[in-house]
A and B are shown apart, each in its own frame.
Chain A
């Protein structure tokens, strides 16, 4: 997570197995992590019923990411890696998001709600989120640059396309009906 450039260079050269499990294991872990975090935040513990249910419907997030990755990669071909290996390498870069989610789950499960609301004030929450977005973007840039062996410009374009497609899809599903009003409110229209 700290030196993604060298990590991806090494990983891309390593021989590995291929197949369905390689393609789905990390996306499944992300869905499971989302389900567990929701359970921790909501019920202050791991509730099997809540975590499993939330894992199922929040699996649309890794689904959107894979679709966006497919689009970003297919524009330039597979670049020598199998699709399963490409997905596996890409989802290896989710460390910052994983730590952020676990941190959020820890705050909400260990602190009483009134205190947790105070701790996770918008400034704190958005500040941490901004750091995670930048860190994660750097890792994913390294994925395109060193994992897929692209030149600098092409790596940035791949990253932007992946982000544009996946984030648009994720945000539309979470909150489409209020987006125009939210934007209007923030821009004071």
Chain B
């Protein structure tokens, strides 16, 4: 829908040239250079080149602009809920100074619409237009302008990361929901293995089963995570590699133990912590 509209608007090509409301004039030049604190004595007999866009701004009460591709694309995105806007890129090329009395016009074309993208501000679409300013038929400046139209208040929420489930790991996550710590076991030769995989590393059989572990083990190694921040977790936290009594090692967060009291060999037992649609195994001291 958004992409279709973007294609339609882009296919319209450059908009008819829209004349500026006022001719280039010293009053606006003075306002602008004052706002910038620019005391260059060349003004206002000449207009600052960087002011080119100002001449064709549409005032406080802009009339509906059916030919302006940015307005048209913005309306489409507003309709879809992407109501907020920030500028993200601007590239200008100036061919010459403008002088008071000259009357510019502008023509714009929709260059690209890319999205939806997740940004720090929220989900949004990048809209790029290219504009050319003319005096008569002479191009005097060009601009590439890109904005981000985004959904306000739609920042990526800080929910904890969820595991990815595959055919190999499905049994494991089904187990945690039932309060079972399941460890893969080869149905052919009986060896236990973790993490899960399709093939037995000892006998190469493609016939995995599982056993329910006691959930008892010892810290084999661990790290204390201080940085960077992780969604849904408070820093610092401890990630422990635990050797289970069944003989396999398994990673998980060690909870309820201050980082400086963790040691290798600490006896632990499994606990279960719901996170979103999943239940994650965690380690607790015993």
Co-assembled chains A and B: no
Q: Which residues of chain B have a CB within 8 Å of any CB of chain A? A: none
